[in-house]
Chains A and B, each alone.
Chain A
Amino acid sequence: MQIESHYKKLTLLLVLVAAGIFTAATDISPLYVDPYKLEYPDYFGNRISIPEDNPTTKQGVYLGRMLFYETKLSSSQTISCASCHQQKFAFTDGKAFSSGIDNMRTKRNSMSLANLLWVRNFFWDGRAKGLEDQAKFPLNDPHEMGGYLEKAVKILQQTKEYPPLFREAFGTAEITSDKITKAIAQFERTLISANSNYDKYLRGEYNPTEQELNGMELFMNSPRPEKNIRGANCAQCHGTPKMYMELFHNNGLDTEPKDIGREEFTGMENDRGRFRVATLRNIALTAPYMHDGRFKNLDEVLDHYNEHIKPSKSLSISLKNVSNNLDGEKLGLTANEKSDIISFLKMLTDSTFITDPKFSDPHLKKVTTN
């Protein structure tokens, strides 16, 4: 009995000593990370993507937010993710094409960063799988942030502030490009927009106006002129409370697209001019519209769907011969109906999302280099 307990003490001592040597040698401090609770409404569903090797933690999210707003990640030291993804525009930048370092223009329109937790294939053409992978693209792109990631790793390592933040989030103060993208991805997963008037309506807390209600009906319905049902068929692609489905469609912008979209990535002709169906959440804040920012406002978008769909081999069949008139070829919405749909789209603006201090620039004091 006595001996046994002595053995126990001895083993405990040995374990402690070993652990001590191990931590000293590898600079691994025991991890005390707190899980970050991602809160979202049930109607978004739980088909979310969080890789097993990058759980969302309070420490990781905070570090990610610091990095999202960090201009030291760009070769010119002037561009951060937030240059092209500004909170007040629902994380877009109000431009048709964004400018990166040295004012070089991006090939496509900046995308809103909201409810990315449910997205699996990122970018307008779906070429990046997962947020960790996605973040490498702007960081390595010569036009966006100047391909500066490996140097930025060294620069951040020299700062006073960053090594401790990496230690808190990942257990060691050693900074790697992998940890940078992991932390940014954690922050991006927290960008959840679910408090618009439409959400309040779904929760039974908001009474829509007559225009909003009519716009909602039109948005959700497919037109059935033989049954006197009027509709705009938008929900066919932008349906579900998330206001998008992860589908790639050619929505009739061009017969011969200059930007071939998903075809460039898949090599398949039937993907010509196909782009990911964009979320319509906060859409009133994210002009100009489409992958090339060709439409200045929502009126132009509605005119496009109603009157200017361009035929092509890959045009989505959900946009072919869909009409409110018997045997019609065009959608055939009235001017009032178009404006009602816009009233509904404005219901998707979430003012708490664009003012939430959790998502704002955390660089209150300047980071100094040793």
Chain B
Amino acid sequence: MKKHFLLLGFLIASFTAGFTTSLSAQTPSKEAVLKVEGEVLKTLSISISDFAKMPHVEANMKDRDGKIQQYSGVPVIEILKQAGVTLGKDLKGENLTKYMLVRASDGYEVLFSLAELDPVFTNRVIILADKKDGKPLENGIGPFRLVVPDENRPARSVHEVSHFIIRFAKE
């Protein structure tokens, strides 16, 4: 008797388990967002549509085969300004030991010092791109990718960017 109840319970459990998985596969999945957090005045969570409304610029980079590719997107510095990161005249003293960790949705991570991003220090404009040749980026690369011009290896031009995390370097 007890065995039967167990079996029944198990069947119900596996049925509902199967049911919830198929449900979750049907419900529209979450939309990708860019999160900006850490040492910021305001954490941001920017959706694809909000991102599209921000002022865009163009940037070029070489792909792995050395061909020049043109992207359109928002300068990283503008996104960080919106979050209230210490930039421009505030980027001095201990703030010069701050960095931005870029994280992709597959877990890939790379790092930039804030001074590498700020026009007070450099003329190179790094953008977070959402379009290439006027079209959204392809699966596995978009919706957001970093475009870092003038680098010999594209390893920091991260695909599928999901987070900008600002932190102090702790020795």
| Interface, chain A (partner B; CB < 8 A) | 102, 104, 121, 126, 246-249, 260, 263-264, 266-271, 274, 313-317, 320
Contacts and interface: CB of A to CB of B under 8 A. Distances in A.
Contact-residue bracket for chain B: 10 to 19
14 contacts: A121-B107, A247-B106, A260-B21, A264-B21, A264-B24, A267-B24, A267-B29, A268-B30, A268-B32, A268-B105, A270-B32, A270-B139, A314-B140, A316-B140
Contact of B30 (A121, A246, A260, A267): A267
Contacts, number: 45
Interface string B99-121: 00000011110000000000000
Contacts of A126: 107
Nearest to A317: B140
When A and B form their complex, which 10 residue pairs have the shortest distance between CB atoms, in order from nearest?
A267-B30, A269-B29, A247-B107, A317-B140, A313-B139, A248-B106, A248-B107, A247-B106, A246-B107, A268-B30
B107 A266 contact: no
B160 interface: yes
B40 interface: no
Contacts of A264: 21, 24
B25 interface: yes
B25 A270 contact: no
Per DSSP, chain B at the interface is loop
Interface in B42-75: none
Contacts of B21: 260, 264
A268 B139 CA distance: 12
Given A247-B107, A263-B29, A268-B32, 18 more contacts: A102-B6, A121-B107, A247-B108, A248-B105, A249-B106, A260-B21, A266-B30, A266-B105, A267-B24, A268-B29, A268-B30, A271-B105, A314-B140, A316-B106, A316-B140, A317-B141, A317-B159, A320-B140
- Which of the listed residues B6, B105, B107, B139 has the most CB atoms from chain A within 10 Å of its own CB? B107
Nearest to B160: A270
Contacts of B141: 317
Contacts of A268: 29-30, 32, 105
Contacts of A314: 139-140
